[in-house]
Amino acid sequence: MELLDRYLAAVGQNLPKPEREDIVRELGENIRAQFEDKEEELGRPLKDAEQEAILKQVGNPLLVAGRYRQDDRSLTLGRRIIGPALFPFYAKVLWFNLGVTTLITVLIVVALFEAGARITLSGTISSLFWTLAAEFIVVTLIFAGVERHASKFPDHWDLRKPRNSGLSRVMERGEADGTPRVSRFQSLARFVAGAVFLAWLRVITHSAYWVFGADVGAFRIEPIWHRIYLPIMLVVIAGMIQAAITFIRPEWVRFEALARAVLSLAGLAILVLLATAGPLLTVRDAAPNAAQLHVVHTVNGWFVFYFSMLAIAIGCIVVFSVRPSLRRRMRTHRQS
Amino acid sequence: MAIDDTQFENLRLELRRGSLVLAVLAQLRSEQYGYTLRKVLADRGLEIDEGTLYPLLRRLEAQGLLVSEWREDAKRSKRFYRLSASGKIVLKRLLAEWKSIDSSLDGIVKG
């Protein structure tokens, strides 16, 4: 029954927790009854291939779990883009990314408003709208691709492989069957966040109007920003590549930990460079007025605050990323 | 414009969806568990995927049309479903509606 257990585990990890045990138990009993019926018909125990044929008939674990979610919502633009089985996972990734982006935007707007910068409501809404629209498009395109793949190849999943990379594990959480894995939800969310951040960075560096609104002409961003633009881009792109790799190969836990540690250290180096570079924003005018000086002073203060917080967060990420690998290494060393 | 297979499949599924609910409710006038229900329906000419039927049973139960209980059968615990009191009323009304649609369609198709 090993194959059946793995199938049920794959269905179970995509089900809502309160109902998971009950649904898996019922589904398992129904499939076992089907196995027994077939065994009686053949007069012998079922081979793995025969069990697998029955499981294929029941359906892709992800899609079966989606049907149990009692969620009939779907995304339709002329024709169906994302069906009800995949929609709950799509909604989860989309709301997570949109929520984080909105939170970050609100923090930036509050900081600039407090600094006295002239923030216009229309400018803020327009900036937020385009960022969220970009995020919506990226997430929708990814899930539309997954949906298309699922409809075109409904049998493209194989529970006999020790590390199944099929659709059934697209949204799995880590360690569902006891083996450590990087959550695909996390990898996908990081990939989308990286793509949107790149788009945002490009817009900001090409038009400071999005940040400073009508006051854009009064301030100057120091050249250090232009020097670190490329390193930031490279770190973000490397992070996206790493997220794409761990999406395809979630079992590469060590690679993920190592890559995250290296990228975090690179991020930390950029932050140190920024924090020690002196004022990051200055007034363009040779004889600035008090209000402009206040804006510059407060914005630079916020930069230092944000960078310190980020540096602490990144430091924690580095420690938590390398700790499991170090522990494993130490255990192996002690045993040998 | 020629209708393609996907379009036909979508229309077919739409047509089947309501009929499946009716068939499941009618069959559950006598108690069954998921797998035997599927077999009985298939024997009577109505094939239904496991991945569709089992979640449908839970959905109908959540809507109050079915009731269920875990019970021992052939040394194994199974979840048996049967029509609830409100399910019986709904089934009666749905069957009346079905008969009315059937006779209307018959007249329309025959011209």
Q: How many domains does chain A have?
A: 2
Higher-confidence residue of B89 and A209: namely: B89
A214 and A118 Cβ atoms separated by less than 8 Å? yes
Of A30, A59, A67, the CB nearest to B34: A30
Q: Does B101 map to a domain?
A: yes
Q: Does B68 map to a domain?
A: yes
User: Quick one: which H or E segment has residue A281?
Assistant: strand A281-283
> In the predicted model, is pLDDT for residue B68 greater than 90?
yes
Q: Does A11 map to a domain?
A: yes
Q: Does A279 map to a domain?
A: yes
Of B36, B39, B55, the CB nearest to A68: B55
What is the predicted pLDDT for the residue at A173? 45
Q: Does A167 map to a domain?
A: no
Lowest-confidence pick of A4-8, A124-128, B56-60, B104-108? A124-128
Q: Provide the CATH number for the domain around residue B82.
A: 1.10.10.10
Among A39, A70, A101, the domain-final residue is: A70
Q: Does A238 map to a domain?
A: yes
A172 and A184 Cβ atoms separated by less than 8 Å? yes
Exposure letters A32-54 (e unless 16+ CB within 10 A, then b) = ebbbeebeeeeeeebeeeebbeb
Q: Does A163 map to a domain?
A: no
pLDDT tens for A74-129 read 777 766 778 777 787 788 888 887 887 787 777 777 766 766 666 677 777 877 78
Q: Are residues A237 and A327 in the same domain?
A: yes
Q: Are residues A45 and A106 in the same domain?
A: no
Chain B environment of A32 (Cβ under 8 Å): 76
The torsion defined by the Cα of A292, A210, A96 and A316, in degrees rounded to 10, comes to: -50
User: Quick one: which H or E segment has residue B32?
Assistant: strand B32-33
Q: How many domains does chain B have?
A: 1
Q: What is the domain range of residue A17?
A: 1-70
What is the predicted pLDDT for the residue at A26? 93
The confidence band for A284, taking pLDDT boundaries of 50, 70 and 90, is confident
Q: Does B47 map to a domain?
A: yes
B73: β partners: B76
Q: Does A165 map to a domain?
A: no
Q: Are residues A59 and A194 in the same domain?
A: no
pLDDT tens for A135-187 read 888 888 888 887 777 766 665 565 555 444 444 444 444 444 556 677 777 78
Q: Does A168 map to a domain?
A: no
Cβ separation B50–A26 shorter than 8 A: no
Residues A303-328, mean pLDDT to the nearest whole number? 70
**Cβ partners under 8 Å of residue A89, min gap 6:** A14, A62, A66, A143, A170, A171, A185
Q: Does A245 map to a domain?
A: yes
What is the predicted pLDDT for the residue at A64? 85
How high is the mean pLDDT of chain A?
76
Q: Are residues A152 and A27 in the same domain?
A: no
Q: Are residues A23 and A112 in the same domain?
A: no
Of B39, B51, B77, the CB nearest to A58: B51
Lowest-confidence pick of A58-62, A183-187, A240-244? A183-187
Coil, helix or strand for A1?
Answer: coil
What is the predicted pLDDT for the residue at A155? 59
> In the predicted model, is pLDDT for residue A232 greater than 80?
yes
Distance from the A175 Cα atom to the nearest Cα atom in chain B, whole angstroms: 25
What is the token pair recorded at A329? 């290494």
What is the predicted pLDDT for the residue at B95? 94
Q: Are residues A33 and A182 in the same domain?
A: no
DSSP H helical ranges for chain B:
5-27, 34-43, 50-62, 85-110
Q: Are residues A57 and A112 in the same domain?
A: no
Please work out, in degrees rounded to the nearest 5, the angle formed at the alpha carbon of residue A52 by the alpha carbons of A49 and A57: 130
Residue of B nearest to A61 (CA): B51
Residues B90-111, mean pLDDT to the nearest whole number? 92
How high is the mean pLDDT of chain B?
89
Report d(CA A24, CA A28) in Å as an integer.
6
Amino acid A64 reads V
What is the predicted pLDDT for the residue at B77? 87
Chain A environment of B72 (Cβ under 8 Å): none
What is the predicted pLDDT for the residue at A205? 65
Q: Does B1 map to a domain?
A: no
Residues A312-321, mean pLDDT to the nearest whole number? 70
Q: Are residues A304 and A221 in the same domain?
A: yes
Q: Are residues A102 and A247 in the same domain?
A: yes
Q: Are residues A77 and A111 in the same domain?
A: yes
Q: Are residues A192 and A276 in the same domain?
A: yes
Specify whether the backbone of B74 is left (phi greater than 0), alpha (psi in -120 to 50) or beta: left
Report d(CA A113, CA A298) in Å as an integer.
10
Q: What is the domain range of residue B47?
A: 11-110
Q: Are residues A77 and A31 in the same domain?
A: no
